[in-house]
C-alpha cells in the first residue's frame, strides 16, 4: 500500500492552506501564494438536488443578490467550520484549481492553520474535510504561530514575542517563545463583527438597512479606530433601504460615525490584548516591552488601530509588512523549513 501511496504522492505539490472565515489563501511549496479567494460557496437547488454553482470570487459576487434557487454560503464562522460538507467542497475546488485537472491522482500533503481556541472536534472536522478532499497527510498549525512566522518574529528563540492576528471571525492574541505558545487567547471578534457593528449603527441612527457587502466596503475604505483629529474626517455616501418608508434611499455619514460604530468590536480586541498581557510571565513581559506588539490579519489595516493600541497599552505597536498574507506565508514556511517543522500538529 505504501508503494501506491508514494506513487500517488510522486510529483504532487504540497500545500499550506490559510482557511479563513473571510478569505482562503493557498501556498504551494516552492511557488508561494498562488490563490487568494473569498471563503464563499454558492449552492444551487434544482428539483431538490443541491450542487455547487460557484466558489470563491464568483460566489462572493452573488452574496445578497441571489434568487430563491441559489444560496451563497460561508462555510466558516468564527474561524471554524460551521458546515463541513460545503467546506469540503470548497477545499476540493481550491485543490483542483491549484493542481489542475490533469493532476487528479496526485495527493498532496496539506498544512492547515486553525484558531488557537479550536476544540478537538473542530480540529478533527478540518482534518476530515482536507482528507476527504484528497490530502494524503494533514498537519495543523495554530494561527498565531503561523502569523508570527509570516511576520518574521523570533519564534524559535528564547525571547517573548506578542502577536495580535485580527481575522474575519476571530482575533488571536498570543505570546510566543521557543516554538510554542506561552499564552494565547482567542477573541470571537474580527472583521465580521465590525461589519455587523456598522450595519446596526446605520440602522439605529439613520433608519437605513444596508447589506454586509456595503458595510465591508465602508470598513475597508473608511474604517478608523479613533475619531479623526478634525472630529469629522471623510464623508461617505450610503445607499440602502429606508426602514420607515420601505423605499431605497441615500444618506451621508462621516468617518467619526464609523469610528463610533467600530468602538465596541475594537474595544473587545483591546480587552483581549490586556488579558494576555496580565497573564504573561514576568520575563516574557520584559521582552515584550522591548519587542513590542505586532499586528497581522486584515483587521490590522484599520486606520490608526496601532496608535489606539499604543495608547491603551503603553507598548510599541507595529503592523506586519503584509498583514493580509502573513498567516498563509507562515503556514507555508512551517511546511517547507525544517526549523519550524516542530510547530506542526497532527489533528
As annotated, the binding site for ATP includes 21-23, 168-170, 216-219, 298-301
**Mutual angle of helices 120-132 and 84-99, in 10-degree steps:** 40
Q: Which residues pair with 237 in a beta bridge?
A: 252
107, 8 contact by CB (below 8 A): yes
The residues near 260 (Cβ < 8 Å, ≥ 6 apart) are: 201, 227
Tell me, what DSSP letter sits at residue 280?
S
Within 151-252, residue ranges assigned H as helices are 191-206, 212-222
Burial-class residue 11 by CB neighbours within 10 Å (0-12, 13-18, 19+).
exposed
Helix (H, G, I), strand (E, B) or coil at 65: coil
C-alpha distances out from residue 213 to 63, 147, 273, Å:
8, 26, 28
* 153, HSE (Cβ side, Cα atoms, 13 Å): 37
The annotation places the binding site at: 21-23, 168-170, 216-219, 298-301
Amino acid at each position: 500500500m505504501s508503494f501506491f501511496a508514494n506513487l500517488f504522492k510522486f510529483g504532487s505539490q504540497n500545500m499550506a492552506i490559510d482557511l479563513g472565515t473571510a478569505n482562503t489563501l493557498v501556498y504551494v511549496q516552492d511557488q508561494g501564494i498562488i490563490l487568494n479567494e473569498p471563503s464563499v460557496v454558492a449552492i444551487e437547488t434544482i428539483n431538490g438536488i443541491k450542487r455547487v454553482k460557484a466558489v470563491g470570487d464568483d460566489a462572493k459576487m452573488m452574496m445578497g443578490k441571489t434568487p430563491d434557487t441559489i444560496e451563497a454560503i460561508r462555510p466558516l464562522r468564527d474561524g471554524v467550520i460551521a458546515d463541513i460538507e460545503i467546506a469540503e467542497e470548497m477545499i476540493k475546488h481550491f485543490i483542483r484549481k491549484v493542481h489542475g485537472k490533469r493532476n487528479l491522482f496526485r495527493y498532496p500533503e496539506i498544512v492547515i492553520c486553525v484558531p488557537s481556541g479550536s476544540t478537538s472536534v473542530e480540529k478533527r472536522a478540518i482534518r476530515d474535510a482536507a482528507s476527504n478532499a484528497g490530502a494524503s497527510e494533514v498537519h495543523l498549525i495554530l494561527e498565531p504561530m503561523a502569523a508570527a512566522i509570516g511576520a518574521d518574529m523570533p519564534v524559535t528563540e528564547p525571547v517573548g514575542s506578542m502577536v495580535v492576528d485580527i481575522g474575519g471571525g476571530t482575533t488571536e492574541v498570543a505570546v510566543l517563545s521557543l516554538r510554542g505558545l506561552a499564552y494565547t487567547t482567542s477573541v470571537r471578534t474580527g472583521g465580521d463583527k465590525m461589519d455587523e457593528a456598522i450595519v446596526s449603527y446605520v440602522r439605529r441612527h439613520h433608519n437605513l438597512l444596508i447589506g454586509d457587502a456595503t458595510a465591508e466596503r465602508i470598513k475597508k475604505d473608511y474604517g478608523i479606530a479613533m475619531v479623526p483629529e478634525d472630529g469629522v474626517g471623510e464623508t461617505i455616501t450610503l445607499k440602502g433601504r429606508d426602514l420607515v418608508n420601505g423605499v431605497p434611499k441615500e444618506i451621508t455619514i462621516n468617518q467619526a460615525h464609523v469610528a463610533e460604530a467600530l468602538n465596541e468590536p475594537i474595544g473587545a480586541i483591546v480587552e483581549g490584548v490586556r488579558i494576555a498581557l496580565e497573564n504573561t510571565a514576568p520575563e516574557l513581559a520584559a521582552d515584550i516591552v522591548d519587542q513590542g506588539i505586532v499586528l497581522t490579519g486584515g483587521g490590522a489595516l484599520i486606520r490608526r488601530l496601532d496608535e489606539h493600541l499604543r495608547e491603551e497599552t503603553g507598548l510599541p505597536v507595529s503592523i506586519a509588512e503584509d498583514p493580509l498574507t502573513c498567516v498563509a506565508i507562515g503556514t507555508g514556511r512551517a511546511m517547507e523549513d525544517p526549523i519550524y517543522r516542530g510547530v506542526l500538529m497532527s489533528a
